[in-house]
């Protein structure tokens, strides 16, 4: 079993009429997401919510860590939200998307 530590499990999901590769979050990444969610809940304004979307996508989507905040601002918010919901659902964290 030790040889499986750190192994990434991924799949392609639809995003804006194309496909992106998302991976299941590890325990450590889940803890990072939980900290990000907690931080965004205490922050005020729409920027906190957008920051949460960016951070989750950067953690889970292949190549997204190379996208700047300005580049993220070029995506429709509904598409980013849907992608994060897919990421959280794939990782077994759908309740996190609802703030639970």
Phi then psi dihedrals of residue 58, to 5 deg: -65, -35
Q: Where are the domains of the chain?
A: 13-97
Rounded distance between C-alpha atoms, residue 19 and residue 56, angstroms: 17
Confidence (pTM):
0.83
- How many angstroms separate the Cα of 22 from the Cα of each of 42, 49, 62, 63? 27, 20, 6, 10
Print pLDDT tens along the chain (100 aa): 888 888 889 999 999 999 999 999 999 999 998 888 888 888 776 677 888 899 999 999 999 999 999 999 999 999 999 999 999 999 887 654 444 4
Q: Is 6 left (phi over 0), alpha (psi -120 to 50) or beta?
A: left
């Amino acid at each position: 079993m030790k040889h499986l530590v750190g192994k990434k499990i991924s799949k392609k999901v639809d995003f804006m009429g194309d496909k992106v590769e998302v991976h299941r979050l590890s325990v450590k990444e889940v803890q990072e997401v939980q900290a990000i969610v907690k931080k965004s809940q205490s922050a005020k304004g729409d920027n906190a919510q957008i920051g949460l979307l960016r951070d989750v996508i950067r953690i889970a989507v292949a190549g997204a860590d190379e996208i700047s905040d300005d580049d993220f601002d070029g995506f429709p918010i509904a598409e980013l939200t849907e992608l994060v919901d897919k990421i959280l659902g794939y990782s077994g964290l759908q309740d996190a998307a609802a703030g639970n």
